[in-house]
Amino acid sequence: MTRAMATSPCRSITLFLILLWGSTILFLSSSAELQRFTHPAKSDGSLSLLAVGDWGRRGTYNQSQVAYQMGRIGEELDIDFVISVGDNFYESGLTGVNDTAFIESFSNIYTAKSLQKQWYSVLGNHDYRGNAVAQLDPVLQILDNRWLCMRSFMVDAEFAHFFFVDTTPFVEKYWTHPKDNHYDWREVAPREEYIKGVLEDLDSALKESMATWKIVIGHHTIRSVSDHGDTIELVNLLLPVLKAYGVDLYINGHDHCLEHIRSTDSPIQFLTSGGGSKAWRGIFTPTTEKLQFFHDGQGFISLHLTKTDAEVVFYDVFGSILHRWNMNKLLHSFM
């Protein structure tokens, strides 16, 4: 399969450390700048991928059925990679690198040939309730070399740049009112300093990006009509950065449903793909943004890109197409 290659961070540096992450060489900056991975597009100038979130339940709650349809659609589209938008392992992440949940919820579930591609993953709030550092450990790539999970990083796919953002530390209630949950804040605390660094690194990376398509991925919603609704910390802190640099898509999970919401004051399309397993919350809250599509159930999305065109398709647990959105950079978006 095509392996992602890590290149230097977004800004020039004078000191770096070379490490081996599975079979991938990482060039780590001495600063905290976003790590950049290179994933080339196809020779025909296209790029295809799937995005799924909130999935890791050892195949239950229709996780296996969603995985099967992902494999089928992945083969049809000849996908280049898969994005996981977090909450990778329920209920409380992994206990460590030897936790059998990694094999039982990931390797043994996403077995289709088309899914034997690089998986780029971020952490969700449930992942932070366990040993969050374990999911970042390169040891997991020895168990399954598809796996790549980091807190925040970017993927350079030529005409499309993907910016992965660690959103869980932004949410204040996880720090102040964790209820009965324990959050693994190692390498994150203190919160304010960490968030400041994440936003500065993202700002720098977006500023330097000359890609046609700028796509940001995070676990938490910015806009949503489902159970969790808008994440106010992201609305206040992250959204202004996305608007400032003309981000096209924000892809998230957290709400266990499928959504497409169109911003009323920017080009941003908010896409929720949190239907990887347990769903059907039965909650709908109206939004002041432009709701294009909502499915309170399981499923996933695909994204097909060229230098001029983008197509997003939403699929349900049966692999049926529920919603399709297209955009042409030379013309305009249309349903």
Closest CA to 279 of 303, 254, 302: 254
Residue 146, class by beta-carbon neighbours within 10 Å (0-12 exposed, 13-18 middle, 19+ buried)? buried
CB within 8 Å of 332: residues ≥ 6 apart: none
- Token duo for residue 332: 């305009």
CB within 8 Å of 118: residues ≥ 6 apart: 1, 2, 3, 4, 39, 81, 82, 146, 148
Q: Are strands 309-316 and 299-305 parallel, antiparallel or unpaired?
A: antiparallel
Catalytic residue chosen out of the listed positions 161, 228, 254, 260: 228
Catalytic-residue membership of 228: yes
DSSP state of 126: H
Phi, psi dihedral angles at 35 (to 5 degrees): -70, 135
Q: What is d(CA 204, CA 279) in angstroms, rounded to the nearest whole number?
A: 36
- Token duo for residue 250: 């924000």
Residues designated catalytic: 228
